[in-house]
Structure 1
Amino acid sequence: MENVLICGAGVAGSTLAYWLARNGFKVTVVERAQGMRSSGNPVDVRGPALPVVEAMGVVGRLRDVATRTKRVCLLDGDGRRIATVGLSAGKGEELEVPRSDLVTVLYEAACGDAEFLFDDTIAALRQDEHGVDVTFDRAAPRRFDFVIGADGLHSAVRRITFGAERSFVRPTGIHVATTSFGGPVDHPEEVLLHNTPGRLVAVHPSRDNGGVAFIFRAQAENVDHRDTARHKRIVTAAYGDAGWRVPELLERLREADDVFFDAVSVVDLPSWSRGRIALVGDAASCVSLLGEGSSLAIAGAYTLATALTSASPTGFGQYEAEHRARVRPARRTAKMTAAMLVPKTGIGLATRNLAARAWRWSV
């Protein structure tokens, strides 16, 4: 029985843990956080991810926690509707689920057959042709046959194995901050979007507690992704003169404990593996702005588990070739998505709104 260490208990890490354990591996997952995280706006489970979660037997649980979102409404500065666009979420071909609920469901599916170590992370890795010696921050050192980095955009496994983050992570000029709304939203079937040039505020429904997202264009800053106080100051400065309900929503952000903030970035690596160490999910290929990254993470984790189970010496290469073919189209559309979601200029915003008015009649 080969033993595998997965760094990160998020979407990719828990999915990978489930499938490796199911296929006879001894699996350990180490997670820096003290427990399952509660933050994050809704994400989509669709495309190649759907057959994976169906095979895991968790679709019923995901449907229980899925949002009821049916429409996206574009609002002007006074809250008047500019356009309403219908969505297909929840009609069978995809599910929209709060990220925290998705991670919890996947973790619960995996934790019975895998060991999870919370409040710890990898400090050092030393590999040879037979395995990898792992030094943890807190736990005693251990040896594994394989180590997989599923630890997100700021991956410790990638940094230790491949080099500094700046060599592989390219910011797009867009930043995202999210927090909970503090209770149910007024429109449980509608996402409300308010734009000004280079800025977006979104109020998103969920089952019990809606979410707020601030998505804005700004020059990349050297900001610690764990410095929440600094994140709140950056967002407040970016939206200080905005209208609609933005002052109220900024106040919620400043008082919140469950704030997520980061730069939207693209990860570019010539290879996703080195020896017995590999990357999956955002650690390997962060490309998404609209939640598609979760579906890619699920599909990539399943592909990696299948490749490792094949016992082929080219397993990592097989996984990478197959999953890169899924990532490329998402990467090509990322720039267009950003232009539609957060237009840079007033003219761009007016053009987007005009297109949305025309589109609404066909949905």
Structure 2
Amino acid sequence: MDVLISGAGVAGPALAFWLSRFGISATVVERAPSLRTGGQAVDFRGEAHLSVLRRMGLLDAVRAAATTPRDMVFRGVDGRERARLPASFTAGEVEVLRGDLSRLLHDASAADAEYVFGDWVTALHDDGAGVDVEFARGRPRRFDFVVGADGMRSGVRRLTFPDYRPRFQGYYFALWPADGDDRDLTCAPGVLSAPGWVLFKSPVPPELLPDELIAPDVYFDSISQVRMPSVSSGRVTLLGDAGYGSTLGGMGTGLAVVSAYVLAGELAAGGDAFARYEALVGPYARGCQGNPGPFLAPGTRLGMWVRDRVFGFLDKAPVFARMDLRAATAIKLPEYARVR
């Protein structure tokens, strides 16, 4: 069995790792010329996330690359501290830079999977027995299955579900390289900023803006969610943010790693693998989705006051502070027979 994976961020290399363990050939195509470095801190929380990393033999390596979690300090425009979001609430059990995690997953799968950088999928032709794939630069190839693991702006999703658009959640964010403490935040109604990033409320829908704001080292996007009746069509399916994305939602990385394990195991089991994958991962993924905009940058002064009071309770009410664990652990991971 030959599987094409579009995207070499987190979900794609994690899927490539598990496919090889189940005796399935994987090819990963990535539009960027190399692995993306740096990026924001991402985290794993709860036994479901940690269990998959443990089964991969990567938990110790992830912990070795972990960052030191810090409180997020919210300040008014006058510089005075208004509230503090505890690190215990934001960082999960282990926090790591996205680029470091991507490198670990790539290195763990590169010996068994084919990686093609600087190319991307331009057309898919599913004839029921396989998928003929056209690329921007490489020669056409045929695969048994295709998986879009290419993020919120998934090209595979656009080709497979051309009428679908992610749901705009009323906020935008921008990221850029900067010196300074990115956990020291300045806030006003509907706006939150720190060195290297800004989050702001806006009624302008994404359709009236370009997909990305192109500027040196700046990334600009909407806060959106991907909620689809089905993430599969024929021999093509979606994984991670491409199928269940929730921009800055907080649990997308753990969800991607868990979903990759399930998808690979179901493909190895044969039969109607995509249906079983969706039945298990779909409810779990939707429970992990959220909109951080109103939580972090409420649009009114009253909303900011309420936010500040809620943050003050988190350290005093650990049960409330760890409610996210209910969503992160709300899946029973199957045991799949591994080839190696």
Question: Which bin holds the TM-score, normalised by the shorter protein?
Answer: 0.7 to 0.9
Q: CA RMSD in A?
A: 2.1
Tell me the secondary structure at the aligned position of residue 30 of structure 1.
strand
TM-score (norm 1): 0.81
Q: Which amino acid letter does the alignment assign opposite residue 338 of structure 1?
A: G
Structure 2, unmatched stretches of 5+, are 319-340
Tell me the secondary structure at the aligned position of residue 147 of structure 2.
strand
**How far apart are residue 87 of structure 1 and its match?**
2.5
Within-5 A mapping of 1:1-363: 2-47=1-46, 48-88=48-88, 94-164=93-163, 167-182=164-179, 185=180, 191-202=183-194, 212-218=196-202, 219-221=204-206, 222-229=208-215, 257-311=216-270, 313-331=271-289, 334-335=290-291, 337-361=292-316
Query: 286-295 or 155-164, which moves further after superposition?
Result: 286-295
- Give CA-to-partner distance per residue, 1:177-235, whole Å, 9 cap, x none: 122334xx56xxx92222110111145xxxxxxxx321111122433334423xxxxxx
- Following the alignment from structure 2 to structure 1, what is the Cα–Cα distance between the partners of residues 128 and 317? 58
**How far apart are residue 269 of structure 1 and its match?**
1.6
- Give CA-to-partner distance per residue, 1:120-161, whole Å, 9 cap, x none: 001111111211111111111111111111111111111111
Q: 1:81 to 1:355 in 2, by over 3 A?
A: same
**How far apart are residue 51 of structure 1 and its match?**
1.2
**How far apart are residue 64 of structure 1 and its match?**
2.5
**How far apart are residue 43 of structure 1 and its match?**
1.2
Q: Which amino acid letter does the alignment assign opposite residue 127 of structure 1?
A: D
Q: Which amino acid letter does the alignment assign opposite residue 32 of structure 1?
A: R
- Give CA-to-partner distance per residue, 1:248-306, whole Å, 9 cap, x none: xxxxxxxxx43322111111222111111111111111124243111111111111111
- Following the alignment from structure 2 to structure 1, what is the Cα–Cα distance between the partners of residues 69 and 79? 19
- Following the alignment from structure 1 to structure 2, what is the Cα–Cα distance between the partners of residues 303 and 322? 8
Please tell me whether the aligned partners of residues 199 and 216 of structure 1 are also in contact (alpha carbons under 8 angstroms). yes
TM-score (norm 2): 0.86
- Following the alignment from structure 1 to structure 2, what is the Cα–Cα distance between the partners of residues 65 and 280? 25
Identity %: 39
**How far apart are residue 83 of structure 1 and its match?**
2.8
- Following the alignment from structure 1 to structure 2, what is the Cα–Cα distance between the partners of residues 266 and 316? 21
Query: 192-201 or 26-35, which moves further after superposition?
Result: 192-201
Structure 1, unmatched stretches of 5+, are 204-211, 230-256
Q: 1:90 to 1:349 in 2, by over 3 A?
A: closer
